[in-house]
Amino acid sequence: MKTRRDFLQHLTTAALALPIASVYGLENPLPPVEVPYQGPVLRVALLGLGSYATRVAEAMKACTKAKLVGAISGTPSKLKDWQRKYNIPEKNCYNYENFDAIKNNPDIDAVYIITPNALHKPQCLRVAQAGKHVITEKPMAINVTEAQQMVDACKQANVKLLVGYRMHFEAKTLEVIRMRKAGDFGKVLFFQGLSGFIIGDPTQWRLNPALSGGGAMMDIGIYSVNGARYMIGEEPVWVTAQETKTDPVKFKAGIDETIQFQFGFPSGAVASCLSTYSLNNLDKFFLDGTKGFAELQPSTGYGPIEGRTHKGVLKYPHVTHQTTQMDEMADILLNNRQPEVPVDGEEGLKDMKLIDAIYAAVKSGQRVELKG
């Protein structure tokens, strides 16, 4: 039986322990309890089960707001493998012919389209018609006409359309954007974006114009197109571009090998960028202003991103990009969260307008003026 004396003695001992804890830097001797996420979870089906879809699926294991619940593929063996590996119910697995039936599946909220570029539009339209939210890989389409049709179809179906811009959620990238908005770089004058690698297998879909809609620009080049916009914080008003092709056999008609392109912005800032399938070691963004600079290198790879500014090295822990992306997109789709940099269909449409203008400038050799 505990007496009043026992209680007071216990209380005194506890009080004496507090200054001791403080001396040893233990003002909070017990770590804070992390409260598990209790909100709604976005239930996602992946459409197209290639290497990048696998990367997304693995990253989603660590998500708290998004969950992989379905799979869509034209390869039956892949569906069987994914059922086992990711514990996906057979009733949530579909092929390319029957996936319209997701309309009647209440277990799926959104479909992430990770297929060749030319398939994005028709698949997006089918997903929207089925009443599910759409996430599509970038570029969202093969031209601005198709991109606009995707935006319109999703609006008509009252579903949301997002584009897989994972860099829009990356911590070091967001810090550069924050610094630019805060005026840390002064008046921004120049952006450089270098995006490229040496492409391998000549039979892959990326080198098939019917599936890709283009070459390096429709794959790696979009990072510099998009990056120029969010790093400078403006929309270009003119475009110039020049193409170089050293291997017309590998890079057939309709497949660009290397394009250098330039943007002009309303403030007078300019961007000079490179997109290529023939050079490695090209993954760099550089932003320069009257008061300082920012450099990201690597700037868009799967990570970790490395960055520095005139104030020093950017220090943020690396988190798998696709994990952050899917949790953030869940917040957008379920809670109407507004991200720092948009990832909606309108954002993807802006990039497609620029890519169309780049190809037009290459073809004409003339500067292309852009309307607002």
Give the three-state DSSP class for 29.
coil
- In the set 78, 121, 132, 138, the catalytic residue is 138
At 268-290, the pLDDT tens digits run: 999 999 999 999 999 999 999 99
For tokens 């990832």, the residue is 343
* pTM of this structure: 0.91
* Ranges in the chain annotated CATH 3.30.360.10: 168-317+344-369
Q: What percent of the chain has pLDDT over 70?
A: 91
CATH of 168-317+344-369, one of 3.30.565.10, 1.10.3720.10, 3.30.360.10, 3.40.50.300: 3.30.360.10
- In the set 94, 112, 165, 223, the catalytic residue is 223
* Ranges in the chain annotated CATH 3.40.50.720: 42-166
Give the pLDDT confidence score for residue 2 in this predicted structure: 43
Distances (CA, A) of 146 to 130, 139, 152, 226: 19, 11, 10, 18
Q: What percent of the chain has pLDDT over 90?
A: 89
Give the pLDDT confidence score for residue 372 in this predicted structure: 67
Top-tier CATH class for 42-166: alpha beta
At 281-323, the pLDDT tens digits run: 999 999 999 999 999 999 999 999 999 999 999 999 999 999 9
Nearby residues of 345 by Cβ (< 8 Å), 6 or more positions away:
140, 147, 150, 151, 154, 161, 162, 163
Mean of pLDDT values over 43-49: 99
Mean pLDDT of the chain: 93
Is 138 a residue of the active site? Answer: yes
Mean of pLDDT values over 85-111: 98
**229 vs 357: CA distance, rounded Å:** 15
108, 93 Cβ separation under 8 angstroms: no
Closest Cα partner for 52 from 177, 232, 205?
A: 205
For tokens 């939210």, the residue is 133
Neighbouring C-alpha atoms within 13 Å toward the C-beta of 288: 10
Give the pLDDT confidence score for residue 33 in this predicted structure: 73
Residue 31 pLDDT class (50, 70, 90 cuts): low
Is 302 a residue of the active site? Answer: no
Residue 34 pLDDT class (50, 70, 90 cuts): confident
Residue 259 phi/psi, 5-degree rounding, is -130, 125
Interstrand relation of 270-276 and 258-264 (parallel, antiparallel or unpaired): antiparallel
Mean of pLDDT values over 250-278: 98
**371 vs 108: CA distance, rounded Å:** 39
